[in-house]
Amino acid sequence: MPEGCALCRMANGQIKIDALCQTDTLLAVLNRWEPLSQGHALIFPRRHVASFHEMSPAELSEVLPVVRRLVLALEVTNYNVIQNNGALAHQTVFHAHFHLIPKWSEADGLGLSWNAVGNLDQGAVYARMTGNLAREIT
């Protein structure tokens, strides 16, 4: 565990949390530190990994069922599930985690601007990705 990792400290009981759901490998907590709306939750592996692609298949297989349980418990129909990797992608806590952010009204929750790049040539990246997928990178 990197010194000072807040999510590791939560998983180890060093920071008081409002646990919503716990498994041997995963923890879901109410976000009381920087919530964007009522019910904003964080879902993360107990084990320290910095990014999504470092999570094990077992850890990943638990995430979406837990998110679904939280959505149903909130009784919300408008929400975002977001996960950022790396500083350029706006990751600020470098322990892989997912946000469940309810959108109760237009004013609260996640504000999002989608700046699509028109006519972007995807040929080279498609070739690289399909070549790598054929080699089954894990």
Catalytic site includes residue 40:
no
Please report the pLDDT score of residue 138 as a whole number. Answer: 61
Higher-pLDDT residue of 115, 88 = 88
DSSP 3-state of 50: coil
Cα–Cα distance, 138 to 135 (Å, whole number)? 9
CA separation for the pair 37, 107 (Å, rounded): 10
Of 40, 90, 95, 97, the catalytic one is: 97
Neighbouring C-beta atoms of residue 89, cutoff 10 Å: 9
The CATH classification of domain 6-111, taken from the options 3.40.630.10, 2.40.10.340, 3.30.428.10, 3.40.228.10: 3.30.428.10
Which pLDDT value is given to residue 4? 85
Domain boundaries, the chain: 6-111
- pLDDT of the residue at 66: 97
With a cut of 90, say whether residue 58 has pLDDT above it. yes
